[in-house]
Amino acid sequence: MSSEYTNNSFEQGSRISHSYIINDEEVKQYLNNCEIPVEAEDVELNDALKCDIVYPEKNTIEFIVAVDGESTTIPVKKSFPSSLITFFQFGSLLIKGSDLDEMEKKPFVSPSDINKLKKIEREKFVLPTKNVALKKDIDFRTTVREAIQEFYKKKHSGKTSILETLYWLIFEQYNPTSAKSNYKLSQCPHCGTNNILLEKDKMDFKNYSWKCTKINCEKEILITDVLRLFEKVDKVENADASGIITYLEKATESFFMIHTIKSLIEIQDGLVDRFLFVKDGPLSFGGETANMHKPMQALITYLNQNNRINLVGVETSGAFVDHARQIKDKLDPGQVFLLNNEHIYTYIQVGNHKEQQYGSTSYYSGKFIYKSFDKRVYVLTIPVENHNTYYNQPEIDDLKNIQEILMNIDKLRCDIYENALIPVAVANKLISLTNHPSSNILERFAKKSMGR
């Protein structure tokens, strides 16, 4: 979650100027020709997309894992404000379902109860963001790529690195019968040659890298280049990586989650079935990293054949959350409203995308609104195997194990923050950078990790 800067007097100022602008004739005329979302009373919910949820009698989910990340960008030296670094922190939180049952008996969950739940692993990482050179004779793009690769090289919760998890995911190592032997990279980060084939057997296992196949280039391609973040970072012109911060943060959260899934599968067959993974934000890959939704889709499809993979994305802000609040009274408690293309493009993301399949290039999940039995509304995503057609005609059965997942979502309700869930709220709070180190400490940390 990126920290946002708010200032009341600024907001007030902009509100005053808004009303001034709306009274302008020319602006009014323009607005008349614009399509803007309709008022709550004009929203019609297609009854066919409403589904009643029946909680199963038995809860087979014993553990809940939440992943969250945060980033703060600061100047390296006060006197050089144009040199920036970004400080990231990621955390995974493990909650035992039985601890939640204890808490459920109380009318209000106190911060000390939440303290009992915390068992968070924190990982820190510094990205040179603007005008920072780590070593001489290396271009800025390479500096950024190497920083990401180094971070993914760290061992996380146990014995293996995130690099290994990335390899496992893109070459389908979870599936012994998979024939996946190469991965097509959009372009070489050095020479720009398109569609470079990264062959599984030709990877250098020491560095998780390849040599570019183009003669005269033959430079190193890193496995983390499949995230394509380098495409947003110029080699020399403006040494600026600020455009990748959010996508890197979100993708890394996903990889922490995939890493835990992999670890569970390796520990014991069937163990992963007893877990629920809760991710802040939708289950998707954004921006340059969007292509990762395909290997993720393949993993989900495979796991669903033999196991049960309980995964849910929780949105806490944005247009979908605003819409959910708007239509809250049109749903009964315990009811789900499945979102299809028509509804999304009519009421939530207006504009001319009606021909398009929602999220087809980034999502591996189906999105819906859930009104719980205690009348809270949530915007959630659960993996679907048919995401290419799902949003034409969503069906409740496409969302595997939805009843049991929602039963657990209900148990995770958090009384401290409106419509927040305990794991997400706690993970947010525990890894929050603004709560802990001052920017001085961050600066010192950054300099240490840059070897100054």
Interface positions with Zn ion (CB under 5 A): 188, 190-191, 212, 214, 217
| Phi, psi dihedral angles at 265 (to 5 degrees) | -60, -40
Classify strands 182-187 and 120-130 as parallel, antiparallel or unpaired.
unpaired
Cβ(62)–Cβ(404) below 8 Å: no
SS3 per-residue string spanning 90-135: EEEEEEEHHHHHHHHCCCCCCHHHHHHHCCEEEEEEEEEEECCCCC
Beta-strand (E) ranges in 149-189? 182-187
The 8-class DSSP code of residue 82 comes to E
Q: Which is nearer to Zn ion, 187 or 346 (CB)?
A: 187
CB of 228 to Zn ion, least distance (A): 15
Classify strands 310-315 and 275-280 as parallel, antiparallel or unpaired.
parallel
CB of 159 to Zn ion, least distance (A): 33
Place of tokens 């409203």: 337
Q: Which is nearer to Zn ion, 120 or 217 (CB)?
A: 217
Look up residue 4 and give its two tokens: 């946002």
Q: Which is nearer to Zn ion, 190 or 411 (CB)?
A: 190
Q: Which is nearer to Zn ion, 190 or 232 (CB)?
A: 190
Distances (CA, A) of 216 to 96, 195, 212, 236: 55, 17, 9, 20
Cα 317 versus chain centre, distance: 13
CB of 134 to Zn ion, least distance (A): 22
CB of 216 to Zn ion, least distance (A): 8
Q: Which is nearer to Zn ion, 110 or 193 (CB)?
A: 193
Q: Which is nearer to Zn ion, 222 or 314 (CB)?
A: 222
Q: Which is nearer to Zn ion, 34 or 215 (CB)?
A: 215
CB neighbourhood size of 58 (10 A): 7
Cβ(85)–Cβ(447) below 8 Å: no
CB of 233 to Zn ion, least distance (A): 16
CB of 218 to Zn ion, least distance (A): 7
Distance separating alpha carbons of residues 386 and 395, to the nearest angstrom:
11
CB of 295 to Zn ion, least distance (A): 23
Q: How many helices (H) and strands (E) does the chain have?
A: 14, 13
Distances (CA, A) of 24 to 19, 21, 113: 9, 5, 54
| Phi, psi dihedral angles at 156 (to 5 degrees) | -125, 135
Q: Which is nearer to Zn ion, 160 or 213 (CB)?
A: 213
CB of 193 to Zn ion, least distance (A): 5
CB of 191 to Zn ion, least distance (A): 3
Q: Which is nearer to Zn ion, 221 or 244 (CB)?
A: 221
Question: Which residue intervals of 208-292 are DSSP H helices?
Answer: 245-267
Q: Which is nearer to Zn ion, 149 or 165 (CB)?
A: 149
Residue 414's nearest CA partner among 121, 117, 54 is 117
Q: Which is nearer to Zn ion, 194 or 268 (CB)?
A: 194
Cβ(146)–Cβ(220) below 8 Å: no
Cβ(210)–Cβ(231) below 8 Å: no
**Three-state secondary-structure class, residue 417:** coil
CB of 42 to Zn ion, least distance (A): 54
CB of 287 to Zn ion, least distance (A): 23
| Phi, psi dihedral angles at 237 (to 5 degrees) | -45, -75
